[in-house]
Amino acid sequence: MACAVVAMLIVLSASAGGVAAKSDNRILKVVETQDVDQSVVVELPTSDEVAAFMENNPEIANILVNALGLDCLRSAAGFLDKIGAVVIDLDGKAHINMFAWTDGESLDVKLHFVWHGTITLTVYARADARLESPIMSINLDIKNAQLMTHATFIGTPPYVVDVMLNFHVVGDATIAIGDSVAEGSPEFDISCHVLMKISDGQLKMLKIMVPSWLDALLAGI
C-alpha cells in the first residue's frame, strides 16, 4: 500500500501546475484534484541491498525494528530475493493539498492526500525480467484513503526532526493467483489506521490498527 501511495504522489506531482514561489516564507503550494489512470513499475531491492541500507541508516533501522520486530523483517527480506518487481495500476480520483514553508532555519512540509478508486498490484518473480508471467495480483477497492502528515526539517542537507503522520484506509481486497481471478474469490477487509509521531529525531508514538485477520497473520510470523 505504501508503494501505491508514493506512486500516486509521483503521478500527481509530475502533472501539478500549482507550484509557486512567494515573497513570504511559503516556498511551495500544490493543490490538485485529478482522475488517474496510470501504471507504475516498482523494481524491488534485494535483501542484501536492504541490509546495506539499514546498516548505513541506523535511525531508520531502529524505527522499523521497534515497529515490526526482527522476525517480521527477516521474513520480509526472504521474499525480496524471490520477488523482483510489482506493477501498480491506478484507476480512480486523487486529491493532493501540499504546502512547504520556511521558519527561521527550519523547513516545514504539510500534506493532505485523498484517494478513491482501485489499485491493482501485480507481482512478478525476480527471474521474470520481462514481466510476462505474474505470480499473483491483488486488487484493492478503496472507498476512502487519506494521508495527513506534517514534517519539519533542519540543517544542510536537511534532515527530519519532527513528523506527525495520520493514515487511514477503508476498503476491500481480492487476490488472484497467476493471471486470472477465480470465481467466488473471497474479499478481505483492508481497513487500517496508522498514527506516528517523531520528535527531535526520535520515535515517540506508533499505533497501527489493522483488520483482525491481518493481526492474527502477523502474530504468527
pTM, rounded to two decimals:
0.67
**Three-class SS of 181-208:** CCCCCCEEECCEEEEEEEECCEEEEEEE
The per-residue pLDDT string of the chain (221 residues; one tens digit each, 9 = 90 and over) reads: 544 544 544 444 444 444 444 445 888 899 999 999 999 999 888 888 888 888 898 888 888 888 777 777 777 777 777 888 999 999 999 999 999 999 888 899 999 999 999 999 999 998 887 888 888 899 999 999 999 999 999 988 878 889 999 999 999 999 888 766 555 567 889 999 999 999 988 889 999 898 888 777 767 65
Q: What pLDDT, on a 0 to 100 scale, did the predictor assign at position 58?
A: 86
String of DSSP letters for the chain = -HHHHHHHHHHHHHH-------SSSEEEEEEEEEEEEEEEEEEPPPHHHHHHHHHH-HHHHHHHHHHH-HHHHHHHHHHHTTEEEEEEEEEEEEEEEEEEEEETTEEEEEEEEEEEEEEEEEEEETT-TT--S-SEEEEEEEEEEEEEEEEEEETTTTEEEEEEEEEEEEEEEEEEETT-PPTTPPEEE--EEEEEEEETTEEEEEEEE--HHHHHHHHT-
Minimal CA–CA distance to 28: which of 105, 87, 108? 108
Minimal CA–CA distance to 122: which of 202, 182, 56, 177? 177
Domain boundaries, the chain: 2-18+29-46+81-219
